[in-house]
Copies of this chain bind each other. A is one copy, B any other.
Amino acid sequence: MIKVSVMYPNSEGCKFDMSYYLDKHMPMVREKLGAACKNTQVEQGLAGGEPGAPATYVAMGHLYFDSVEAFQGAFGPHAPDILADIPNYTDTQPVIQISEVKS
């Protein structure tokens, strides 16, 4: 299983519309990716590790696939539509990471 993490960097005054992300963006993403996407998770950053430190990421979205190839096959055709929706909920530029789920 692989996990695609889309991490939105936090900064003073950055915009992130969690309601839009949860109610519009993620359902659209799941519909476009179809059965290849096995699961999704969404988190909102609360804090960093040190007392009083801000969260590194204002929000994170995670998508699970059986393999990198399954992700690429499902995401590629819809990448333009999915990426075009980002400005509707945030003014941040997400950092993307593909990871192998170990446990």
A70 at the A/B interface (Cβ < 8 Å)? no
In the complex, the count of this chain's copies comes to 2
List A59-103 residues whose CB lies under 8 Å from chain B.
Answer: 60, 68, 94-103
Measured CB to CB, the closest approach of chain B to A74, in angstroms, equals 15
Q: Chain A: interface secondary structure?
A: strand
List A1-29 residues whose CB lies under 8 Å from chain B.
Answer: 2-3, 7, 18, 22, 26
A18, A47, A97, A100: most-surrounded residue (chain B CB, <10 A): A97
Known A2-B46, A46-B68, A68-B46: A41·B98 in contact at CB below 8 Å: no
Q: How far is the CA of A23 from the CA of B31 in the complex (A)?
A: 38
Known A55-B98, A56-B95: A103·B40 in contact at CB below 8 Å: yes
- Is there contact, CB below 8 Å, between A103 and B41? yes
Measured CB to CB, the closest approach of chain B to A89, in angstroms, equals 13
| Interface positions of A (Cβ within 8 A of B) | 2-3, 7, 18, 22, 26, 40-49, 55-57, 60, 68, 94-103
